[in-house]
């Protein structure tokens, strides 16, 4: 995907219902010095004033235009979203995207935005931008811009809101950003309870790399892996794999089943560990599901409650990780800190449970199919010990060869 600043901004929406607003956005972009391509994603056939008609977009659906213009709004919206994503993916000149829409338009446009590389400008002016935008943004850098009034005509409010969004995107597509330093980017995952380890690793890596640290809150791991898929990360130190706990047990900071998928797809050099696999995340204490009553809990802060993983849960977590690691054919090292997996998993601390930890370590050793490229190591250190940081860096240096 080319992101040349001389390339155009794409203005996307349903011209059959929002043509005036879309043309106004395009006008403001052009007035600010940006080149513009307008794209219609209406889900009904008809003539369009856009540069790219809805029918042209629909031809990019694997089932053709008839798969998009079904006459049923639900299926048409889903099909147009797929067609738009493929259309945008076929272009080599996208400097940025400005979308306008309600819930339907937002559902059509944001998947295409998410498929673009991080760093390409993405602004979605939407009626649903003041609510839960996680499903629309996911791990991308989409800016959700609340429309305030409905996107249903131009008025004193919508002109200002849409104009501001257009001017913001014009600034993105018409201004150069100095190139990044020519150092290899390394992705690292961190949680509060593994911060000393990650900090020590970064210190040991020194100025030879550009460290990109991702907070392992569910979206953090997905964001890191999106950059891996985009070719923007050259190696990974996945120290804090805790999002897998939430996925397996039912916490609020869960990975998806595609965790480690980018590592397998790209064969990027990978060093992983068990950081914070001793815990599941929930919100405030009152929000913890009733089925977990009686479990070992720790109030991290008034908004975050942590729950210790059991031995049985640790086995399931390890089985997931083993299955994913076995799919990785690039260089892989996975290090097991037998002295504890987080600041809370240490002698005298709230989550110290050597038996549960051993269930995880033993399952990983048994189920990871070790080869010359894929190795698992036990180390007699706590995850936050300096010696464990040394071992992680040594393993990272080894997988670079």
Structural domains in the chain, CATH included, are: 9-174 (3.40.50.12020), 185-399 (3.40.50.12030)
pLDDT for the residue 179: 77
- Number of neighbours of residue 294 by Cβ within 10 angstroms: 6
Q: Do 333 and 395 meet the contact criterion of CB atoms below 8 Å apart?
A: yes
CA angle 70, 96, 120 (to 5 degrees): 110
Q: Do 304 and 282 meet the contact criterion of CB atoms below 8 Å apart?
A: yes
In a 3-state reduction of DSSP, which class is residue 185? strand
- Number of neighbours of residue 287 by Cβ within 10 angstroms: 10
pLDDT for the residue 178: 85
| Sign of the alpha-carbon torsion through 19, 25, 26, 28 | positive
pLDDT tens for the chain, 401 residues: list them.
334 446 899 999 999 999 999 999 999 999 999 999 999 999 988 888 999 999 999 999 999 999 999 999 889 999 999 999 999 999 999 999 999 999 999 999 999 999 999 999 999 999 999 999 999 999 999 999 999 999 989 999 999 999 999 999 999 999 988 877 789 999 999 999 999 999 999 999 999 999 999 999 999 999 999 999 999 999 999 999 999 999 999 999 999 999 999 999 999 999 999 999 999 999 999 999 999 999 999 998 889 999 999 999 999 999 999 999 999 999 999 999 999 999 999 999 999 999 999 999 999 999 999 999 999 999 999 999 999 999 999 999 999 98
* Nearby residues of 375 by Cβ (< 8 Å), 6 or more positions away: 332, 333, 334
**C-alpha dist (Å) from residue 216 to 192, 221, 222, 276, 285:** 9, 6, 9, 10, 20
DSSP 227-288: HHHTT--SEEEE---THHHHHHHT-SS---TTTTHHHHHH---EEEE-TTTTEEEESSGGGS
pLDDT for the residue 152: 87
pLDDT for the residue 3: 42
pLDDT for the residue 375: 98
Please, what's the largest Cα pairwise distance for the chain? 71
| Sign of the alpha-carbon torsion through 335, 341, 342, 348 | negative
pTM listed for this prediction: 0.83
Nearest to 121 by CA among 87, 150, 98, 104: 98
Distance CA 277, CA 63 (A): 43
pLDDT for the residue 6: 65
């Amino acid at each position: 995907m080319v992101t040349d600043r001389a390339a155009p901004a794409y203005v996307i929406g349903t011209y059959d219902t929002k043509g005036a607003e879309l043309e106004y956005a395009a006008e403001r972009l052009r007035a600010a010095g940006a080149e513009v391509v307008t794209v219609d994603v209406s889900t009904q056939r008809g003539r369009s004033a856009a540069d790219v008609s809805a029918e042209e977009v629909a031809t990019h659906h694997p089932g053709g235009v008839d798969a998009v213009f079904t006459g049923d709004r639900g299926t048409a919206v889903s099909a147009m979203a797929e067609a738009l994503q493929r259309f945008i993916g076929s272009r080599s000149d996208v400097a940025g995207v400005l979308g306008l829409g309600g819930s339907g338009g937002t559902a059509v446009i944001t998947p295409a935005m998410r498929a673009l590389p991080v760093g390409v400008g993405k602004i979605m002016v939407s009626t649903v931008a003041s609510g839960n935008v996680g499903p629309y943004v996911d791990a991308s850098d989409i800016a959700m811009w609340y429309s305030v009034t409905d996107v249903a005509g131009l008025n004193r409010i919508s002109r200002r809101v849409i104009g501001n969004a257009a001017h913001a995107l014009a600034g993105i597509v018409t201004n150069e950003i100095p190139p990044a330093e020519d150092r290899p980017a390394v992705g690292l995952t961190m949680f509060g309870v593994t911060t000393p380890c990650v900090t020590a690793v970064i210190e040991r890596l020194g100025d030879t790399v550009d460290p990109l640290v991702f907070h392992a809150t569910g979206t953090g791991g997905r964001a890191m892996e999106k950059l891996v898929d985009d070719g923007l990360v050259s190696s990974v130190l996945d120290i804090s794999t805790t999002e897998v706990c939430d996925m397996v047990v039912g916490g609020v900071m869960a990975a998806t089943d595609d965790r480690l998928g980018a590592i397998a797809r790209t064969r990027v050099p990978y060093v992983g560990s068990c950081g914070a696999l001793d815990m599941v995340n929930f919100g405030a204490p009152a929000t913890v599901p009733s089925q977990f009553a009686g479990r070992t809990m720790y109030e991290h802060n008034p908004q975050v409650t942590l729950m210790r993983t059991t031995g049985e849960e640790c086995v399931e977590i390890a089985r997931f990780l083993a299955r994913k690691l076995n799919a990785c054919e690039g260089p892989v090292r996975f290090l097991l800190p037998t002295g504890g997996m987080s600041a809370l998993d240490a002698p005298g601390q709230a989550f110290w449970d050597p038996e549960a930890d051993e269930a995880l370590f033993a399952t990983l050793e048994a189920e990871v199919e070790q080869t010359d490229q894929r190795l698992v190591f036990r180390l007699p250190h706590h995850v936050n010990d300096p010696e464990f940081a040394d071992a992680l860096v040594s393993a990272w240096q080894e997988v670079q060869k």
